[in-house]
């Protein structure tokens, strides 16, 4: 069973939940929320969230999303972040910290990928796993890279969000010339991956 995330003390500070008018304080507030989100998501291995801050995908199999405490709410102090401020926090995480990205920029409501590891870090983990298992140059399925018990999938890759895997492949490994993808017959999903 996964331990409960211990929020930092600032999570119990009531002004954190309301957008502050002073720009310096607001910047610090957004930075604090960025740190909280990344730590929270890393603890629960959350790779995507809704715009409201609910879990879309976690790599943990031993915890349900109902068991994960709310991110933008502290019931002990009766405080919650409103939707407009959540949007500002996520925009800061995306555009200033570069640690998140909309799953579909044309449809932001589909959710947000959270990069508690950078895409380069994820790409190195994926490449190292394929190299360590002697599969460089082989065509592998998404299942073999993220789900298969037979392939001894690296713990960091187990149950990885498909959308995150696509970003790792297209955003890093293909650009570096270290991967090729083969699309399925209808061209909508990745059918296979060759990492070199």
pLDDT at position 63 is 84
pLDDT at position 155 is 85
pLDDT at position 185 is 85
For domain 119-195, which CATH number applies: 3.30.300.30, 1.10.3720.10, 1.10.10.10, 3.90.550.10? 1.10.10.10
Q: Sketch the domain layout of the chain as residue ranges.
A: 9-114, 119-195
**Tens-place pLDDT, residues 86-112:** 999 999 999 999 999 999 999 999 999
Q: Do domains 9-114 and 119-195 have the same CATH topology?
A: yes
Quote the CA–CA distance of 107 and 158 in Å, as a whole number: 27
Within 8 A by CB and 6+ apart from 24, the residues are: none
Query: What's the CATH number for 9-114?
Result: 1.10.10.570
CB-based contact 143:194 (threshold 8 Å): no
Of 71, 70, 73, 65, the residue nearest 93 (C-alpha): 71
**Tens-place pLDDT, residues 162-182:** 999 999 999 999 999 999 999
């Amino acid at each position: 069973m996964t331990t409960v995330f211990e929020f930092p003390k600032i999570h119990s500070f009531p002004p954190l939940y309301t957008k502050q008018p002073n720009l310096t304080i607001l910047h610090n507030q957004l930075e604090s929320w960025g740190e909280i989100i990344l730590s929270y998501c890393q603890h629960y291995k959350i790779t995507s969230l809704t715009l409201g801050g609910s879990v879309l995908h976690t790599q943990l199999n031993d915890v349900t999303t109902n068991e994960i405490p709310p991110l933008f709410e502290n019931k002990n102090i009766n405080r919650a972040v409103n939707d407009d401020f959540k949007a500002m926090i996520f925009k800061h995480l995306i555009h200033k910290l570069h640690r998140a990205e909309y799953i579909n920029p044309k449809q932001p409501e589909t959710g947000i990928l959270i990069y508690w590891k950078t895409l380069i870090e994820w790409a190195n983990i994926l490449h190292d796993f394929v190299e360590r298992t002697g599969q460089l140059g082989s065509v592998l399925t998404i299942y073999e890279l993220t789900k298969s018990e037979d392939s001894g999938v690296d713990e960091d890759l187990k149950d990885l969000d498909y959308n995150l895997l696509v970003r790792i492949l297209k955003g890093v490994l293909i650009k570096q010339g270290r991967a090729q993808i083969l699309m399925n017959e209808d061209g909508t999903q990745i059918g296979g991956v060759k990492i070199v």
